[in-house]
Amino acid sequence: MQKPVIRPRRLRQSVAMRNQTREFAVHPSELILPVFVREGLDEAQEISSLPGVHQHTLESIRPVVNEAAELGVGGIMLFGVPAERDAIGSGATDPEGILNRGLRVVAEEAGDALTVQADLCLDEFTDHGHCGVLDVRGEVDNDATLERYDEMALAQAASGAQILGLSGMMDGQIASARAALDRAGFHDTVLLAYSAKYASAFYGPFREAVDSQLQGDRRTYQMDPANRREGLRETRLDIEEGADIVMVKPAMSYLDVLADTAAFSEVPVWAYQVSGEYAMIVAAAQNGWIDRDRAVAESIVSIRRAGADAVLTYFALEYARALRG
């Protein structure tokens, strides 16, 4: 038998050797924590399908922001859950609406320690649960929705949001919001485009988190999970329209799209480890089927390895604590 000359195992023989030759390492600043603030609560309320994740009050959100900052987490993406909804999502543009009030609280607590980010979409605020305004046929009216998005962009920027996450998948939303912000003098507000956002089954727990009123589905505007090239087309269009950052969502089932996007993008590429991806890991760990700590780390590292510069994840605080050791 001829003994092997090339021995890759040499680089795996000890903890120190493995650490020295590791290709990717995650830093807390590359993690972004999604947070829900809900109107009408007296105290934080755990979300049953997202164990460990809560809907917050304007007060209970403050220690979350402070812990995230202390751990070096990069940012907080805020979602609002209003007490009342209507057909056009009026609460989304009301300066005293729950999301805009929440943004002011987060901005006050965060200072310069982390970025204040806002979900810019109507689905949490409409009584039909769609991401846009409906026409007389009950279909989402793309261009009428852009007008509402522009109003949301101005309200969120005025409330202290530094990064606006346009997640509605309307055609032309980045160009329209950029023009509206620039006209109003918000030249420094960053636009995060949810460019390749798929009509995924993995959003299930999020629907509970925002008390979704969705009727039907979102397949006329979110992308078909079977389409890979289309994700690149959407991303290119958003970059051409002025997106400062682009996003792939979900992350773990779309690592091929994420890698494709990272290979050509001129701007930072982020990915969202969505609620269903979080819930699967938590549920399996609770049943003793997997090691939670290792699964959390492996899942986030895989998203970074595929090309994400930052990861939105409900594990952000937990993993940042683990990274601190």
**Of 56, 85, 197, 304, which residue is the catalytic one?**
197
In a 10 Å sphere around its CB, with 0-12 CB exposed, 13-18 middle and 19+ buried, how is residue 46 labelled? Answer: exposed
Contact between residue 248 and residue 269 where contact means Cβ atoms under 8 Å apart: yes
For 294, the 3-state DSSP assignment is helix
Is residue 3 annotated as a catalytic residue, yes or no?
no
- For residue 256, what are its two tokens? 């091929």
Distances (CA, A) of 149 to 10, 83, 217, 324: 55, 20, 20, 39
The closest alpha carbon to 269, from 298, 249, 253, 252, belongs to 249
Catalytic residue among 56, 85, 249, 304: 249
The dihedral region occupied by 40, where left means phi > 0, alpha psi between -120 and 50, and beta the remainder, is left
Q: Which two tokens stand for residue 79?
A: 């979602």
CA distance 294 to 312: 18
Buried/exposed 255-273: b ≥16 CB within 10 Å, e otherwise? bebbebbbeebebbbbbbb
**In this structure, how many other beta carbons lie within 10 angstroms of the beta carbon of residue 17?**
12
The catalytic residues are: 197, 249
